[in-house]
Structure 1
């Protein structure tokens, strides 16, 4: 499994925050339209809480790795220039100075602040947003905690009452009120219900001066909040508002939820009551207008509304609806409204672009294998190549180092692809991670996510090299550890020796044949293979013996005994992208006849076809050429 790249996550977080703002605006517009055309529906709590949930859903959907089947907008690729590749030979001091003074590669960008690449700005913006978000969240939580402390102190200052001690409970039995605790406080405030887990009803002492009917209606209002579980609805809304403190539409939707809760309680309390009692209820609302001490927090007060703190316009609207209740609509209207919110959420997600973070060279996104991989294809990572067709044959006497054959372009530095498995095999058997031809046997796991169905089975070292199974290589390098693999590569003096850690690529992958940075020339291949054949590397004799045995090619021409490994990878175009039509194919190893040992490196470029693959074609070509050569 690939590690999470923090900068990519932060960039997604920033984009998701912007997307939630856009979604909030769209959801608020739909909700306001419903309020104007379907006033009875606007009094439902579900409309406003569902609006908040829709905004949160868009945020989470955008934060999650994008599902392209749902996305309409294209992915925005943020290309980050990469460091220049390590030269094969040490550069002079003058060359190092010239490289330091040269502009950064990719997009022609310099290191000045005015010319910073887009990826740097996005990365810095993501980090800054994380800091700002956490500060805002802490401030929001601090305000909520302070309000809760004030409410708790208010409740602690009061006196516990029994239901029979207050006229407002005359029509209720103790069983109907329990387990709700009733507390009377000597504070000029509205009656309120507070406490999610220990619900308490706070009643001001001055309420005893109200008419008995009004006291009963006020108490019934708060008990209705309790029965409807309005505190739980408010808690959910407050949680979303706290997490999305930066989104003003979440506060607006939360305020309208409180507004709908108050209207809902008014409706339930007054259902079936005569006009005289409705008038008394409205008078009680007006009487509370100047007694609105209500700290922000988890509490629901009779005279206040979340919409605007209980001010006169809201009370006037409530009194208007008390006199003339809105006509209820059928269930279809609620489903239409909720369906509209869902459609807005899906549309907002689909229309938000995603971020694809990659480097110009080498790529920093996780390596993805082509669906057309043959068993010997090592990787689909980009390779460095000239625009001319690659074609090189090198054959070197293992003992003397004399070049017997050098034909074609043999100075191209490209990915070793699956030929790097020779080095991994030596490391594995030397370290004990690999024990013999058939140990360890590793079962295939779905988490390996092999794109090639033919690799989705358990295997051992013999099957690994025979079928060129990439996931097994990664398990070997994982057990060796990146530091150990890099140490071996340095000791082997293999290619450019560059197994760099790359953002977005697991280290076990970065040090395998899928390495985005490891490069080798045909000449370097033969240099390495001479050390293998002459057993000049600091590895065990078993490592040499088993590796040679597992690399033996069955069909060898003219009495030659051939040991070799294929490898395939796509050609890199001049614009930096992988060529889907052309692959390079490696076949490297050594041949033995009459006690004479020759090392070879064959590199060819082949069109991509369904018939065969570049590595296999290169092996066939080399074996055919070997049969015709007189060496």
Structure 2
């Protein structure tokens, strides 16, 4: 009994999100290591808020790039083939189910009707739920902090002595600035017990936060930490951002002040630390330090370190290296953009009305041997091809010959039957690059890119074989309709001979099919063919009486003992062509 697994859009999203989350944590570890080394060798970065926010953004970028379309092409590690893994684990799961079901026929029948879910699928979907729950919890914590600050502000008395709304309250808190859109400064009444110069410096510290727009920086860091709550390094980096903001304000407030005022400022910091009982994570507070870190802050107050632009350059270069490494060294999902690619599209040739349009019909892929229809049109129009059996070209050992049927002298008729690659290559070579490109442009064929592999200059012989030339099933329909309605700038002879060598077949329902198959392997990141998957094409037109229908069927599935192109043809003739009278 065959076991299969079915992947929904949620399944694929869950896999990608799980992979991006793991990569995000790995990137966080690397970023933290780089910044730790920079702090050791370049102590001045501790007061650079841009460094710490950029470090958070680097982790976010590593997460986002994994989810971006075509991002897997930048990865160096081999992609994870989810379908293969899932099929194996599903088979194991199914065997366990059958084992537990015993000989019960009812249980066995139920197992046959459903595809067992594998553990990786459950884990990925569970992670989506866990992330959503964690995000909700983090948002609730932010809301709780905001309400606490609002409650403190409501309980205080407003003063009009500062450029921002200032509120004095009877609470053992640190002086703090909060509110992104409406900044407010909370000052505890116990500041009146401080010396005048100390009180003035403390207030100036919070106003410096306001002038430096530190609230914007702080809120950006909080938003990123909230979205990536599962990454412990985001929390560490956000704390470093807060630390840098405090050090930056200390530096600006004390710039040019005498040692006596520096000493008074440090004493005020210690006194405030002893008085405060709580600290709000969403506010910028003068005493936002721990007993373990206050000594370091006082040391920097007494003897501030200097930072050159080379410090920032070195740190940015290190973060860029982490981003590049995290992107290229983490695995991706194999063929994640078209995991179960399939399209069946039919169109009335006379009216252009879509009769059927099922699947991913806008996805482009290599045309493979369906491109021989194009080569035939060009060959007969240019005079390189004459009739069904002329020219007869001799086979040479240097020609592409991975199919034994190609290792013989070939004429146009046998070329189309066997999809002999070297024969098509001889025709396009005689055309030359410029004329070849002009034909493709005038046909409006796919993406019209016949440049071939990058740097290889092989467009004349390779562009349609898993290379630069790409076409979607929808574009195949448009091109085939131009053939049937004779809208291409070619001779009548080219139309007639191309139609003849397609070897039409008449079905039992009276429809005559003119079609061409194509099989090709998707290209991997390293440029090699994917040994596990194959594109299968079957394109052409069907006629009966005065009616003509153009069609295109394209699939991407696992490589099997038979070629994907003939399989696409068989399924089309069996499931679609037999129903043409109903369209």
TM-score, structure 2 length as denominator? 0.60
Alpha carbons of structure 1 residues 468 and 123: separation in structure 2 relative to 1, 3 Å:
farther
Q: Does 1:312 align with 2:291?
A: yes
- The residue aligned with 1:48 is 52
Distance (Å, rounded) in 2 between the aligned partners of 1:40 and 1:286: 23
After TM superposition, the structure 1 = structure 2 runs for residues 59-208 of structure 1, keeping only pairs within 5 Å, are 59-80=63-84, 109=92, 111-112=94-95, 120-163=118-161, 177-178=162-163, 180-208=164-192
Note the residue ranges of structure 1 that are not aligned, 5 or more in a row. Answer: 83-103, 164-176, 305-309, 379-387, 391-442, 470-524, 534-562, 593-613, 619-631
Alpha carbons of structure 1 residues 578 and 290: separation in structure 2 relative to 1, 3 Å:
closer
Distance (Å, rounded) in 2 between the aligned partners of 1:454 and 1:135: 41
After TM superposition, the structure 1 = structure 2 runs for residues 8-27 of structure 1, keeping only pairs within 5 Å, are 8-27=12-31
**Secondary structure class of the residue paired with 1:288:** helix
Distance (Å, rounded) in 2 between the aligned partners of 1:59 and 1:118: 30
Structure of higher CA gyration radius: 1
More helix by share: 2
After TM superposition, the structure 1 = structure 2 runs for residues 335-414 of structure 1, keeping only pairs within 5 Å, are 335-356=313-334, 369-375=365-371
Report if aligned partners of 2:44, 2:311 keep a CA contact under 8 Å in 1.
Answer: no
Report if aligned partners of 2:178, 2:282 keep a CA contact under 8 Å in 1.
Answer: yes
Q: Deviations over 1:22-63 (max 9, x none)?
A: 000000001111111111122110111111000000000012
Distance (Å, rounded) in 2 between the aligned partners of 1:364 and 1:591: 27
Alpha carbons of structure 1 residues 117 and 193: separation in structure 2 relative to 1, 3 Å:
same
Distance (Å, rounded) in 2 between the aligned partners of 1:200 and 1:300: 11
Alpha carbons of structure 1 residues 337 and 450: separation in structure 2 relative to 1, 3 Å:
same
What is the deviation of 1:222? 0.4
Alpha carbons of structure 1 residues 137 and 376: separation in structure 2 relative to 1, 3 Å:
same
Report if aligned partners of 1:109, 1:117 keep a CA contact under 8 Å in 2.
Answer: no
Q: Does 1:323 align with 2:302?
A: yes
Distance (Å, rounded) in 2 between the aligned partners of 1:58 and 1:141: 23
Distance (Å, rounded) in 2 between the aligned partners of 1:564 and 1:263: 78
Q: Does 1:451 align with 2:470?
A: yes
Q: Does 1:567 align with 2:516?
A: yes
- The residue aligned with 1:238 is 222
Distance (Å, rounded) in 1 between the aligned partners of 2:282 and 2:188: 18
Report if aligned partners of 2:198, 2:264 keep a CA contact under 8 Å in 1.
Answer: yes
- The residue aligned with 2:310 is 332
Note the residue ranges of structure 2 that are not aligned, 5 or more in a row. Answer: 1-6, 99-113, 344-359, 375-402, 406-443, 448-467, 489-503, 522-529, 546-564, 570-583
Distance (Å, rounded) in 2 between the aligned partners of 1:467 and 1:119: 51
Distance (Å, rounded) in 2 between the aligned partners of 1:235 and 1:218: 22
**Secondary structure class of the residue paired with 2:77:** coil
What is the deviation of 1:369? 3.3
Report if aligned partners of 1:8, 1:357 keep a CA contact under 8 Å in 2.
Answer: no
After TM superposition, the structure 1 = structure 2 runs for residues 596-611 of structure 1, keeping only pairs within 5 Å, are none
Alpha carbons of structure 1 residues 460 and 51: separation in structure 2 relative to 1, 3 Å:
closer
Alpha carbons of structure 1 residues 236 and 467: separation in structure 2 relative to 1, 3 Å:
farther
- The residue aligned with 1:477 is none
- The residue aligned with 2:252 is 268
**Secondary structure class of the residue paired with 1:36:** helix
Q: Deviations over 1:439-468 (max 9, x none)?
A: xxxx9998xx99249996995985264799
**Secondary structure class of the residue paired with 2:168:** strand
What is the deviation of 1:182? 0.7
- The residue aligned with 2:507 is 529
Alpha carbons of structure 1 residues 450 and 586: separation in structure 2 relative to 1, 3 Å:
closer
What is the deviation of 1:226? 0.6
Q: Deviations over 1:177-224 (max 9, x none)?
A: 43x101111111111111111101111111111100001000000001
- The residue aligned with 1:596 is none
Distance (Å, rounded) in 1 between the aligned partners of 2:177 and 2:94: 60
What is the deviation of 1:577? 5.0
**Secondary structure class of the residue paired with 1:289:** helix
After TM superposition, the structure 1 = structure 2 runs for residues 273-292 of structure 1, keeping only pairs within 5 Å, are 273-292=257-276
Correspondent of 1:57 among 57, 61, 76:
61
Report if aligned partners of 1:80, 1:117 keep a CA contact under 8 Å in 2.
Answer: no
Distance (Å, rounded) in 2 between the aligned partners of 1:389 and 1:262: 75
What is the deviation of 1:79? 2.1
Alpha carbons of structure 1 residues 114 and 341: separation in structure 2 relative to 1, 3 Å:
farther
Task: State the aligned residue count.
Answer: 401
Report if aligned partners of 2:90, 2:116 keep a CA contact under 8 Å in 1.
Answer: no
Report if aligned partners of 1:144, 1:296 keep a CA contact under 8 Å in 2.
Answer: no
Q: Deviations over 1:586-608 (max 9, x none)?
A: 9998999xxxxxxxxxxxxxxxx
**Secondary structure class of the residue paired with 2:39:** helix
**Secondary structure class of the residue paired with 2:141:** helix
What is the deviation of 1:9? 1.5
Distance (Å, rounded) in 2 between the aligned partners of 1:106 and 1:532: 46
What is the deviation of 1:118? 11
Alpha carbons of structure 1 residues 374 and 39: separation in structure 2 relative to 1, 3 Å:
same
- The residue aligned with 1:560 is none
Distance (Å, rounded) in 2 between the aligned partners of 1:587 and 1:200: 71
